[in-house]
Structure 1
Amino acid sequence: MDVLKVARPVAVSGLGDVPYPLSDPAGVEALLARCPVAAETPLVEAEAIAVEAGVAQVWVKDERGRMGLASFKALGAAHVIARHGAEARGRTYVTASAGNHGLSVAAGSAAFGARAVIYIAQTVPDAFAERLQEQGAEVRRVGETYEAAMAAAEMEAQAQGWHLLSDASWDGYTETPLRVMEGYLVLMAEAIRQMPVAPSHVFVQAGVGGLAAACAVLARAAWGDAPRIVVVEPEAAPCLRDSVAAGRVVTAQGPVSIMGRLDCKVPSHIALKGLARDADAFALITEEEAQVGAGTAMVAGLASTPSGAAGLSALLAVDDAGRAALELTAESTVLCVLSEGPET
């Protein structure tokens, strides 16, 4: 595992007009209070993983039961559609998805009488495409990567006058993904209330970075500078790490990763701006480390995918040099996010 420790804030050029992530979950929580399937997800102590990792405590925010979609993504796109209210009826929402964002778009569209069109890459498993279709979405396969699918979705949105609902942001497209990320704040707001003590470390995985940035901004608001926030990416898709290291937005190069939900080569600009300010380190895990970590999580009763357990995998894989860089000791209390359930 590779660890890049940074001195906050990191200057990243080209993001001057990009907003920082929002930091107040109150509006989203008020909307969720009116949703019959919304409920707080549990925070569980993973004693066996703490022993394996050589730390005092590991707390896991378990998102596998979130709103029937088995992922934190239920909080994002569906929240945006709910904000649109009656205006959503009859509208077509289009997006690309490497995983559960598409399910949130599909479920939100179905709930509010809208249509969902989801673009996915050829590499996305058939089982996931079937889950999207079960939620009422029209699924279109394009290209070999998430980025190719997103380009197709953006082009079709412009051609058809559809509403593009992406969880990634780029130049000229920030308003909608800013609200998607606002939905993710609920996860961290719950965890902050549930944690018996402030953590010394937060390990959180990232694809384009929306979840990591939402967790980081609220962790800083609640706990200040004390926690060391570690952003975990696949070695094959280090878009945030490479961008922070270069001081500019970078398109990462790498093969297809088994961490499919995290296999994103271009960072969300909003997330990058937030994490350049709020994150202390960026960790890259190998495919083998991801598999080992997911297996350890399963044995500990936390079955997930290599993507969903990536934060735990990084904690388990960190070597002595990484522990020193992160100041990770036998007295550390670590918060991780189990971001999705296992594939079925």
Structure 2
Amino acid sequence: MEHLTHTQAMRDAVLDGLHDIPFPSDDAERPAALLTRCPVAAPTPLVSADALATELGLTALHIKDERDRMGLGSFKSLGAAYVIACDAQSGRAAGAAYYAASAGNHGLSVAAGAKAFGARAVIYLAQTVPAAFGARLEALGAEVRWRGAIYEQSMAAAAEDAKAEGAIVLSDSSWPGYLERPHRLMEGYLVLMHEAAAEMAEAPTHIFLQAGVGGLACACAAYARKVWGHAPRIVVVEPDAAPALHASVAAGRSVVAPGPASAMGRLDCKEPSLIALKGLARDADDFVLISEAEGQSGADTAARIAMPSTPSGAAGLAGLLAARVGGPAGDLGLDGGSRVLVILSEGPE
């Protein structure tokens, strides 16, 4: 594990450079209210992993289990489908075409939302995505287009084709000129932390949040700060092969962080969402990188406690494990009194 302590100078540099980018929403009431109208929506479990907490020398370990959110298998169900539902409320979804690149679960949410509201979904996949995932998208009625060797190339292709073909880009990332829909998409992710906070008797001392482009981590951090203030120490966890947020915070500006392909494929994103970078520059305390072996250890531990996931889905847990087992536990303030919250963001493949 590699640990970056977030200094005020780093925070100020990032925020100064993103003055024209909005902060993320922290209003969970709107997406929560809209979800009550969805027949397959229900809160996901918050699990108290008491045995693992004892093993790690913690007072408590809470795991927010997103592995079966809305039957789609991940927290991403709360994002793109929520955007399309909002469009439907204003009469903009029926007959529209939504183009999106996906490294995994975002595409399922786009496809499900389009199917539910009479729209069309076109999902762009890079060569690193398993063919079986393309089949899952097609089963939901989406058109699949294979473009590029890596996620960033498939995202560029989706944006280019959408412009040429008069379609709507629906990305879970954000960049200059593309802010409104990803801002709303991340608002949907607030629901999972809203649910978790409602079940917790006291604030966690630590929250470990995995990040790709950063949408999940940013939304969860924003809501945690709203309800718990500065009580939790918020730790952002990324693969060392894709340190998009870590490298950007260290540089004081958004950067592309090249690296090899990661087995944590859902997190294998080399460039951060600008909204997420701004939000996490404000709200996160620490940024850590985990190795491929550490990521696999997180998945192995999740399976051992009968909560199987992937190295991507269990990366927050992997960050906690790495900090406790030979990692910078002291630097992160973990001790016998710690109450930790992590998210299992997706089910096993």
Runs of 4+ in structure 1 displaced over 6 angstroms?
none
Whole-angstrom CA distance in 2 between matches of 1:54 and 1:140: 48
Structure 1 residue 49: Cα displacement: 2.4
Worse overlay, 125-134 or 249-258: 125-134
- Which structure 2 residues correspond to residues 221-236 of structure 1 after superposition, within 5 A? 221-236=226-241
Task: Give the alignment partner of residue 31 of structure 2, picking from 24, 28, 32.
Answer: 28
Task: Give the alignment partner of residue 139 of structure 1, picking from 144, 156, 164.
Answer: 144
Task: Give the alignment partner of residue 315 of structure 1, picking from 320, 325, 334.
Answer: 320
Q: Which residue of 2 aligns with 1:327?
A: 333
On the 8 A contact 1:11/1:276 being kept in 2, the answer is no
Q: 1:51 to 1:10 in 2, by over 3 A?
A: farther
Deviations 1:51-72 (A, max 9, x none): 3332221100000121010100
On the 8 A contact 1:10/1:244 being kept in 2, the answer is no
2:58 matches 1:55:
yes
Task: Give the alignment partner of residue 101 of structure 1, picking from 106, 111, 125.
Answer: 106
Q: Which residue of 2 aligns with 1:5?
A: 5
Whole-angstrom CA distance in 1 between matches of 2:156 and 2:166: 15
In structure 2, the residue corresponding to 1:326 is in which secondary structure?
coil
Deviations 1:217-274 (A, max 9, x none): 0000111111100000000000000000000111011100000000000000000000
2:73 matches 1:78:
no
Q: Which residue of 1 aligns with 2:297?
A: 292
Q: Which residue of 1 aligns with 2:208?
A: 203
Whole-angstrom CA distance in 2 between matches of 1:239 and 1:40: 31
Whole-angstrom CA distance in 2 between matches of 1:127 and 1:199: 38
Deviations 1:146-199 (A, max 9, x none): 100000000001101100000100011100100000000001100110112210
Structure 1 residue 96: Cα displacement: 0.3
Worse overlay, 13-22 or 327-336: 13-22
Structure 1 residue 76: Cα displacement: 0.4
In structure 1, the residue corresponding to 2:176 is in which secondary structure?
coil
Q: Which residue of 2 aligns with 1:187?
A: 192
Counterpart of 2:341 in structure 1: which amino acid?
Answer: L
In structure 2, the residue corresponding to 1:87 is in which secondary structure?
coil
Whole-angstrom CA distance in 2 between matches of 1:7 and 1:222: 23
Whole-angstrom CA distance in 1 between matches of 2:208 and 2:246: 14
| RMSD over equivalenced CA pairs, Å | 1.1
Identity of aligned residues (%): 62
Whole-angstrom CA distance in 2 between matches of 1:277 and 1:45: 29
On the 8 A contact 1:53/1:315 being kept in 2, the answer is no
Give the TM-score taking structure 2 as reference length: 0.96
Whole-angstrom CA distance in 2 between matches of 1:331 and 1:129: 45
Task: Give the alignment partner of residue 245 of structure 2, picking from 234, 240, 247.
Answer: 240
Give the TM-score taking structure 1 as reference length: 0.98
Structure 1 residue 47: Cα displacement: 2.0
Structure 1 residue 215: Cα displacement: 0.3
Q: Which residue of 2 aligns with 1:342?
A: 348
In structure 1, the residue corresponding to 2:63 is in which secondary structure?
strand
Whole-angstrom CA distance in 2 between matches of 1:47 and 1:255: 36
Structure 1 segments unaligned to the other structure (5+ residues): none
Structure 1 residue 131: Cα displacement: 1.1
In structure 2, the residue corresponding to 1:158 is in which secondary structure?
helix
Structure 1 residue 108: Cα displacement: 0.1
On the 8 A contact 1:239/1:250 being kept in 2, the answer is yes
Whole-angstrom CA distance in 2 between matches of 1:168 and 1:10: 22
Structure 2 segments unaligned to the other structure (5+ residues): none
2:104 matches 1:87:
no
Counterpart of 2:331 in structure 1: which amino acid?
Answer: A
Structure 1 residue 16: Cα displacement: 1.3
In structure 1, the residue corresponding to 2:186 is in which secondary structure?
helix
Counterpart of 1:39 in structure 2: which amino acid?
Answer: A
Counterpart of 1:55 in structure 2: which amino acid?
Answer: L
2:224 matches 1:219:
yes
In structure 2, the residue corresponding to 1:325 is in which secondary structure?
coil
